[in-house]
């Protein structure tokens, strides 16, 4: 009884404060997105100044080519985080998808036409199961998905400890496929998949009941329940969606790497969370959007490219810089939270 009353007390105060201070200023919820885009432009600009050949359309397009799988995962993650949850199993589900695909196609001779829908279903079922455990047993999401993360990795090793190379003609063909773009540049098929997912996610988030409910749950789960929204069903669906996105990212990753390996996509859960948070999604839920997440992924790609162009730093720096950026944006969010709480 206490909780529903609290927002109604706080709301008029903050609304009045906002109106008094800055009636026409940018919606504070969009400020993180603006910061993200500015940061991306700044980093890309810095790279262009520092390195020859950095400022080109192909380098920009390669950000998509090399990070299509991360984009798809992070988009799924955005729904989870907007709803106030977290999914730590994404990296392992990608690894499991590559492993299952590789084992079925290479060692059992299954057709990719069967394998790809199968692994997508597998990912969705995996997410669905975690969602059910989270929702119906009321266990914190991070524990359930942490266990899911280790479970999926363990299942990988159960299939094989070693990497399985894929030489199936369909996979190699898709992997080599380059779709011509403007000015002699090209993109891979993976980019097309990622962009389709992005478009679908924008539609899902902003033009469907499901999307509205996700934001409502993130804003206040109790209010969403009191409004009569289908909270339990939606929460299970959110984790199902994230599992599906991870599996799709796994398929894309298989096209990209042409192998299945239990160590693939290690630490990807942090990259996906970072991309989401850098993209302006609040870790506390209720605010954020998938377009921002896309920019978060582009920033990740830019850091990677900068380190590649620099040539001396080890690839570990990508993770370290990404961790620091995640930290920075968390601090920023905290600062915003405090300011709006004081207003």
Partner 1 sequence: MNAGAGRPAEGGVAAAAQAMRAFTRRRIFWPLATLVLLLLFNLISNPHFFSITIRDGHLYGSLVDILNRAAPLMIISMGLTLVIATHGIDVSVGAVVAISAAVAATLIGGQLVISGGMQDVSRYPLPLVILAALAVAALCGMWNGLLVSYVGMQPIIATLILMVTGRGVAQLITSGQIITIYYSPFYFVGNGWVLGLPFSFFLVGAVLAAVLVLARRTALGLFIEAVGVNPVASRFAGVRARSITFWVYALCGFCAGIAGLIVSSNVKSADGNNAGLLFELDAILAVVLGGTSLAGGRFSVVGSLVGALVIQALTTTIYAAGVPPEVTLVVKALVVFAVSILQSDRVRNRLGALVGNEEVAR
Interface contacts to partner 1, rule CB under 8 A = 86, 88, 133, 136-140, 142-144, 146-148, 150-151, 153-155, 157-158, 161, 267, 269-270, 273, 283, 314, 316-317, 319-320, 322-324, 326-327, 330-331, 334
Give the tokens for residue 164: 């399985």
* Least distance (Å) between residue 269 CB and partner 1: 7
Cβ neighbours around 270 below 10 Å, total: 16
Residue 172, C-beta contacts closer than 8 angstroms, at least 6 positions apart? 166, 258
Pick the closer one to partner 1 by CB: 179 or 324: 324
Residue 26 CB partners (closer than 8 Å, separation 6+): 34
Least distance from partner 1 to the Cβ atom of residue 152, Å: 8
Cβ 128 to partner 1 shortest distance, Å: 14
Quote the CA–CA distance of 136 and 254 in Å, as a whole number: 34
Tell the smallest beta-carbon distance from residue 77 to partner 1 (Å): 13
Q: Which is nearer to partner 1, 124 or 133 (CB)?
A: 133
Distances (CA, A) of 338 to 22, 202, 269: 17, 29, 27
Residue 157 or residue 181: which is nearer to partner 1 going by CB?
157
| Tokens, residue 89 | 């199993």
Least distance to partner 1 from the beta carbon of 338, Å? 9
**C-alpha to C-alpha distance for 39 and 343, rounded to whole angstroms:** 27
Residue 330, Cβ density class (10 Å: 0-12 exposed, 13-18 middle, ≥19 buried): middle
By C-beta, is 190 or 246 nearer to partner 1? Answer: 246
Q: Rounded distance, CA 214 to CA 76, Å?
A: 12
User: Measured between alpha carbons, how far is 290 from 308 in angstroms, rounded to an integer?
Assistant: 27
Q: Which is nearer to partner 1, 247 or 277 (CB)?
A: 277
Q: Nearest approach, Cβ of 194 to partner 1 (angstroms)?
A: 23
| CA-atom Rg of the chain in angstroms | 21
Query: What's the CA gap between 190 and 49, in Å, rounded?
Result: 29
Spatial separation of the C-alpha atoms in residues 162 and 103, rounded to whole Å: 11
Give the residue with the Cβ less far from partner 1, 151 or 237: 151
In the complex with partner 1, the residue whose CB is nearer, 187 or 278, is 278
Rounded to a whole number of angstroms, the minimum distance from the CB of residue 220 to partner 1 is 17
């Amino acid at each position: 009884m206490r909780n529903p009353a609290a927002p109604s007390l706080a709301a008029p105060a903050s609304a009045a404060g906002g109106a008094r201070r800055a009636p026409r200023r940018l919606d504070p919820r969009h400020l993180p997105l603006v910061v993200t885009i500015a940061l991306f432009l700044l980093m890309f600009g810095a790279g262009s100044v520092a390195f020859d050949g950095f400022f080109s359309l192909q380098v920009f397009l390669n950000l998509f080519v090399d990070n299509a799988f991360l984009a798809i995962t992070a988009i799924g993650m955005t729904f989870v985080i907007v709803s106030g949850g977290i999914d730590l199993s994404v990296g392992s589900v990608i690894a499991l998808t590559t492993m299952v695909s590789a084992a079925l196609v290479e060692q059992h001779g299954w057709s990719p036409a069967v394998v790809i829908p199968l692994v997508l279903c597998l990912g969705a079922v995996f997410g669905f199961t975690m969602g059910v455990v989270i929702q119906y047993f009321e266990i914190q999401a991070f524990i359930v998905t942490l266990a899911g993360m280790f479970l999926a990795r363990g299942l990988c090793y159960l299939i094989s400890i070693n990497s399985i190379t894929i030489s199936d003609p369909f996979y190699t063909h898709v992997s080599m496929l380059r779709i011509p773009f403007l000015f002699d540049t090209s993109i891979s098929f993976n980019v097309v998949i990622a962009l389709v997912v992005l478009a679908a996610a924008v539609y899902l988030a902003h033009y469907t009941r499901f999307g509205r409910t996700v934001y409502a749950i993130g804003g206040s789960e109790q209010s969403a329940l009191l409004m009569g929204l289908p909270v339990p069903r939606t929460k299970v669906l959110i984790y199902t969606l994230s599992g599906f996105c991870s599996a799709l990212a796994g398929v894309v990753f298989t096209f990209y790497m042409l192998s299945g390996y239990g160590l693939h996509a290690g630490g990807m859960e942090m990259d996906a969370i970072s991309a989401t948070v850098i993209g302006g999604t609040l870790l506390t839920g209720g605010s954020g959007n998938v377009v921002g997440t896309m920019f978060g992924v582009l920033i990740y790609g830019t850091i990677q490219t900068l380190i590649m162009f620099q040539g001396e730093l080890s690839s570990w720096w990508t993770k370290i810089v990404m961790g620091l950026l995640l930290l920075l944006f968390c601090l920023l969010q905290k600062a915003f939270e405090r300011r709006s709480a004081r207003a």
